A = this chain, B = another copy of it.
Amino acid sequence: MIDFACKKFDINEIIKCSLGLSRADYKLFNFLLGSGEELTTSDISEKIGLDRTTVQKSVKSLVGKGVVVRLQENLDKGGYMFRYRIKDKELLKKQIISILTSWSAKAEEEIRRW
């Protein structure tokens, strides 16, 4: 638990909010973090039991937030497919800590202007 101004925050709240993830995005984020594999949206859809459209929407959002990497694989028969994997956890931590730091800097700024 994290304390801020006499309120307690669960670490999941901090991660979810700092990365700007919806509840659905966060579910997928946690799944990809646990798996660590490079997966297609079909793989993910099968493994977590969500329909592919929902998975595609969340995966797109996670790529947009910079927490999931999209890998393009060219197929022998032409065309390509995408696989997705979570960003390295140390880089995710850096990303979250940098947001925490900016929250704290803004709070300090408010106190300075007080």
Contact A114 B93 (CB under 8 A): yes
Count the copies. Answer: 2
Q: In angstroms, how far is the closest chain B Cβ from the Cβ of A102? A: 10
Give the CA-CA distance A103 to B112 in the complex, in Å: 17
A75 at the interface (CB under 8 A from B): no
Contact B5 A110 (CB under 8 A): no
In the bound complex, residues from chain B placing their C-beta under 8 Å from that of A17 are: 5-6
Contact A114 B11 (CB under 8 A): yes
B interface footprint on A83-114 (CB within 8 Å = 1, 0 otherwise): 00000010001001100110110111011101
Contact A108 B97 (CB under 8 A): yes
Contact of A100 among B7, B13, B14, B107 (CB under 8 A): B107
Contact A112 B93 (CB under 8 A): yes
A76 at the interface (CB under 8 A from B): no
In the bound complex, residues from chain B placing their C-beta under 8 Å from that of A3 are: 103, 106
Contact B93 A2 (CB under 8 A): no
A4 at the interface (CB under 8 A from B): yes
Give the CA-CA distance A99 to B7 in the complex, in Å: 14
